[in-house]
Structure formats: structure tokens, C-alpha cells
Amino acid sequence: MNTIITIWHSGGKGKSGTILALANLLLSQYPNHNVIHASKDVNHLSADFSLIIEINDKTIALESLGDPNANSSDIDHPIPI
């Protein structure tokens, strides 16, 4: 089953923090994960990142690009769908 979940709201509502918390939770709860792609060191993720990991033969992609008008330059290439 393929599923895409998005989080949408105006700025300052905690979207990036929620995605970051989920990424850190998955990385800590599943220490045998396989990192397929990470835009940053997975031990030092911050609000704007992209991460693709494999856990128990399931591929999980997480991405946070920050607020639309933030002009984030941390991620040059978003995750392709």
C-alpha cells in the first residue's frame, strides 16, 4: 500500500517541528533502520530536511521545506514523487 500524508497550515503552527519529531522518533525506535537518503546528518537533523529510510522492508520518506516564503536553501532537490 502506498500512502502519502501531508501536513498543511499557516506558518508558526508546528508543522516542521512535528515532522522533525517523527523523524527522530523513527530513527531512535528502529535502530536497525537503513538510511537511503538524507539531506543532513541524521544525528543532527533540523527543521528543513529530507530523509528516506527503510524500516522492516518499508520505505518511509519525510520532508520539511519550512514555510513557503522562508526561501530555504538547505534542500537543493526535494524528494521526487
Per-residue pLDDT of the chain (81 residues; tens, 9 = 90+): 788 888 888 888 999 999 999 999 999 999 999 999 999 999 999 888 999 999 999 999 999 986 666 555 545 555 665
Cα dihedral sign, 68-72-77-80? negative
Cell of 57: 522492508
All three cell numbers of 56 = 522492516
Look up cell 500512502; give the residue: 3
- Spatial CB neighbours of 55, under 8 Å, sequence gap ≥ 6: 26, 30, 32, 33, 34
Residues in Cβ contact with 20 at an 8 Å cutoff, skipping those fewer than 6 apart: 45, 46, 47, 49, 64
Per-domain boundaries in the chain: 33-73
